[in-house]
Amino acid sequence: MKRQIFVVRITFLICLSIWISPSYACNCPIGTTDELFFSESKLVFRVRITANELRPSQELNVDKSSSEAIGPEYVRAKYRLLEVFKGKPSAEGYLNLLVYTNTGNCAVDLMTGVEYVIFLDAKDDFIIACSRSFPVFVNENVGRVEKLRKLKAN
């Protein structure tokens, strides 16, 4: 009987510790569309990532609260411009990415050699999960590039 009570208590404590542990998640708006992001973004363009480099965040010259959100380092991804849907991005340039920390900081990975469509509000913005940027050659994204071409034409 004592053993059963002990097992029940341990089970309860384990469940309680899981229930009260902090959770972290990227909180992106639900129901957003490419059309909405296209209209709200200043820059929409297709790139190929040519290199990634880990950089110290001190070089960004941002305020303290932004620096804390970014962390001690960030990733700078070099790109080559392939197609412009909106705005005037540089033919070659850099995109800033958060370092993935497993704490819900919305980090994404832009892999070298892969093509992406990028949505930005400004040239120096960070690419995050909520920014709607996507890899071009993924099954679920088939047709999205053509949709952006139609939006550009309008």
* pLDDT-wise least confident of 37-46, 83-92, 102-111: 102-111
Tens-digit pLDDT profile for residues 21-76: 444 556 777 778 889 989 989 999 999 999 999 998 888 877 766 667 777 888 89
Asked if the model's pLDDT at residue 14 lies above 60, the reply is: no
Closest of 22, 17, 3, 2 to residue 102, by C-alpha: 22
Question: Could you tell me the fold of the domain covering 34-153?
Answer: OB fold (Dihydrolipoamide Acetyltransferase, E2P) (2.40.50)
The structure's pTM equals: 0.75
Q: At 109, phi and psi to the nearest 5?
A: -120, 125
Residues in contact with 95: Cβ distance below 8 Å, sequence separation at least 6, in sequence order: 47, 49, 76, 77, 79, 110, 118, 127
Q: Which of 83-87, 123-127, 136-140 tops mean pLDDT? A: 83-87
- What are the residue boundaries of the structural domains of the chain, listed by start? 34-153
In the predicted model, what is the mean pLDDT of residues 121-143? 82
Asked if the model's pLDDT at residue 1 lies above 90, the reply is: no
